[in-house]
Amino acid sequence: MSLSVTVTLLSGTQATISLPGDATVADLRQKAQRALQTPLGKLISTSGTLLGGSGTLTQCGVQNGDTITAVTQSVAVAASTGAFALIRADGSVVTWGCPDSGGDSSAVQDKLYDVMRIQAAGSGFAALREDGVVVSWGTLSGFSDSSSSSESDSDPNEVTIASIQDQLRDVREIQATKNAFAAIKEDGSVITWGALE
């Protein structure tokens, strides 16, 4: 079964998109971006629900003939001392530059989706996703991939991302300094990681 939906921008510009029934939200966004010739951020269903993630349109409750509202998104770039991170219009992230400064995000790439904000520290990045989860990478104190270090390698002057990752949920804002990050959660509490000094 195929679906035909109308994707409408707030300006009133619209495009009718036909997709197979098992198409994902990402498939719809990609086709709509081509048809509307603009980067799209959030997609909102007829019922007002934010369409995100990797679910199919059918799983998200989208029906044939629905009108989907699209919000345009400009790309955003953050810079560490030797690398860059760019949020693409679809919420994915691409990095480049010195791997030691966060230019290599391959260890967390599968977690970098629906990103709405990135902050950069000296040699690392933190990304806030739409679902309130924070993903961090880089080699500044506390940002290295936890799978590549051992307990004996831990520095008593840092809080590693691995030690607090399970707390980085329900986050509404992230901030960075030269050597550390802070996440403000929905309940008002603050979680920090990186260098203690």
Final residue belonging to a domain, choices 14, 38, 72:
72
Task: Look up the CATH number of the domain holding residue 103.
Answer: 2.130.10.30
Q: Are residues 93 and 113 in the same domain?
A: yes
Which residue has 């989706």 as its token pair? 113
Q: Mark whether 68 and 146 lie in a shared domain.
A: no
pTM of the model: 0.64
Name the domain boundary from 47, 72, 97. 72
Domain at 61, CATH number: 3.10.20.90
Across the beta sheet with 14-20, the strand order is 14-20, 2-9, 67-72, 40-44, 50-51
130 in the same domain as 103: yes
pLDDT in single tens digits along all 197 residues of the chain: 789 999 999 999 999 999 998 898 888 988 998 899 888 888 999 999 888 766 789 888 999 999 999 988 777 899 999 999 999 877 889 999 999 899 999 999 999 988 989 999 988 999 999 889 999 998 754 444 333 333 435 556 666 777 788 899 999 999 999 988 999 999 999 999 887 76
Specify whether 121 is located in the same domain as 181: yes
Choose the final residue of a domain: 45, 72, 99: 72
Rounded CA-CA distance 91/112 in Å is 8
Strand order in the sheet with 134-138: 115-121, 124-129, 134-138
Q: Can you read off the two tokens belonging to residue 115?
A: 């990103």
- How many domains does the chain contain in total? 2
